[in-house]
Amino acid sequence: MIVDRIRWHAVADDRLPGLAEGALLHLRVHGRDICFVRSQGVLHALADRCPHQGKRLSGGWCDEGYVVCPWHRFHFDPASGRARHGVCANVEVFPVEERTDGPFIGFPYTTFRVLGMDLW
């Protein structure tokens, strides 16, 4: 059977646990450009690429809880990745866990499970 899983990766950057409310931080994690933001006290992770023209979101800012693209001012919900007012496609978001040993980000993958074992 085909199943969806999440691979968790530690994010080794000392700035992340103390990221201020509304601040954006670009990090490269496991080969991906990620924009981290703390919104309403919760740490979120989005693909650091605006779906409109591919520019980095991490150069933007937060406005009323939304991440704002610095190029065309499109707003994205950091929890769901949804574009405000449906002006363009949504941004990919990733689960984040703030654990005692530091923050972790989850990257989804699909695998084939046979006899209780994942094949890849």
What residue segments make up the domains of the chain, in order of their start?
A: 2-118
Q: Would you say the pTM of this structure is higher than 0.85?
A: yes
With a cut of 90, say whether residue 111 has pLDDT above it: no
| Residue type (1 letter), 18 | G
Asked if 112 and 103 count as a contact pair (C-beta separation under 8 A), the reply is no
> What pLDDT is stored for residue 115 in this prediction?
80
User: pLDDT band at residue 110, thresholds of 50, 70 and 90?
Assistant: confident
Q: How far apart are CA 81 and CA 102, in angstroms?
A: 24
Name the token pair of 65. 């809880």
pLDDT at 4 over 90: no
Which residue has tokens 């979101």? 57
What is the predicted pLDDT for the residue at 76? 96
Give Dmax (Cα) for the chain.
50
Give domain 2-118's CATH number out of 2.102.10.10, 3.40.1160.10, 1.10.287.40, 2.40.160.20. 2.102.10.10
pLDDT in tens, 18-69: 999 999 999 999 999 999 999 999 999 999 999 988 899 999 999 999 999 9
Percent of the chain with pLDDT strictly greater than 90: 78
- Write out the two tokens for 51: 């779906």
DSSP secondary structure string for all residues of 28-86: EETTEEEEEEEETTEEEEEESS-TTT---STTSEEETTEEE-TTT--EE-TTT-PBGGG
